[in-house]
A = this chain, B = another copy of it.
């Protein structure tokens, strides 16, 4: 990987902040130092840095949302090559480590666990709001 002022500035920015920025957020902030950097450059460099292992991408899932008639919350393994999604039992979740590889035959390369909810501030704001008026 060759040096470039763009890449250096992007990396410094990601390292300096701790708000899990999107590419767009990094673009906005880096533009203050390099006003005519392009968004494409930000994306390309972020992905290179991820590939190099310097930073991490908290990525959703490729290829769009998936739907399931099993409505209880449950975990999945996702093949990054064929895009198949496979159900996991709750039990195997509790012993995350090797169990999942044993259960599925997958070689697990990474995981993102994202719990979704409403944070304390947003809960408080909601309380003071009328639903309609």
A3 an interface residue at 8 Å Cβ cutoff?
no
Cβ proximity bits A31-72 to B, threshold 8 Å, 1 near / 0 not: 000000000000000100010011111111101111111111
> Measured between C-beta atoms, what is the minimum distance from A69 to chain B in Å?
5
With A58-B68, A122-B79, A122-B81 as contacts: A117 and B113 at CB distance below 8 Å: no
Cβ proximity bits A107-133 to B, threshold 8 Å, 1 near / 0 not: 111111111111111110000000000
Quickly give the copy total for this chain: 2
Contact surface of A with B, Cβ cutoff 8 Å: 14-15, 19-24, 26, 46, 50, 53-61, 63-73, 75-82, 84-86, 88, 93-94, 96, 100-101, 104-123
